Amino acid sequence: MKNKIAFVFPGQGAQYVGMGRELYDNYHEVKELFEKADEILGRNITSICFEGPEDELKKTENTQPAILLVSVAAMMVLEKHGIYPDMVAGLSLGEYAALVAANSISFEDALPLVMKRGQFMQQAVPLGQGMMAAVLGLEREKVEECCRLASDAGVVEPANYNCPGQIVISGHVAAVEKACAIAKEMGAKRTVPLAVSAPFHCSLLKPAGEALEKELDKIHIKDPEIPVVSNVEALPVRDAAHIRKLLVQQVSSPVRWEDSIRYMIKQGIEVFVEVGPGKVLTGFLKKISSEVKVKGYNVEDLKSLESTLKELGGTM
């Protein structure tokens, strides 16, 4: 009996200059996908992925389509080799790649949509007014309490429940800094400010969600063909109307990644493949699944593809 496989897709922050290059050079389908992406966006996203410069790739409106493009390219290669998912999920932006994987949103619609999503998220809060920070080594209830205690200094809320001992908070600069100071007093190992351009996944981003809703109304969304575990509910979303609603909420709601992975493990998923740039989600998986036997792999270049196919019995 074959193992049940989940594909998980990375979010913003996983990007690096050169990502996707080896797959592009070795698979004509990937080359065609990149050429199509340049055409759809009316900008040379291929060159931004491969050559940068890093500052250009880090712009949210470039980062989001670039990561989506590389993630879908890696998925196409896996499927070409006979590896298909039973379930999918994606961290924040990665949820769009998951919806493409489930044939719920077309790649042609998802790509310009995430570019606009990036622009809306960037515009929602003026530069320098918001920030995000990772709180390490503190239980979730205590992190929530830190945010409550610091809320007199502005908006500060949990943004990402990544894995045990790593929760990201988001909001106004003064409030996030105050929450970090309280977290240290409560016993956090450390707090790490994140190099992001806006305070994602908190209520300050509601205007971005409203702008995104208008764009979502213009595209065709189908019921997913395989379960897509949503960030907002950490449960499968089964119909197109609910997907629209959750994608709007997702921009300003916390990403329940740890809960999503635990749900998938309970459903019998034994193998998680991180599809796209980086290995951040594979690192989270190790911390989430320390008591159960699941395997994590990643596919972003030829070496990682080869070792994953070898383990999963795909055809090379």
Catalytically active residues, by annotation: 92, 201
Distant-in-sequence, close-in-space partners of 229: CB < 8 Å, separation ≥ 6: 87, 88, 89, 98, 235, 236, 237, 260, 263, 264
CA pair distance 34, 223, nearest whole angstrom: 26
Q: In what order do the strands lie in the sheet with 236-237?
A: 236-237, 228-229, 87-90, 5-9, 271-275, 295-299
CA pair distance 41, 31, nearest whole angstrom: 16
CA pair distance 239, 179, nearest whole angstrom: 38
Contact in structure between 50 and 17 (CB atoms under 8 Å): yes
**DSSP type of residue 268:** T
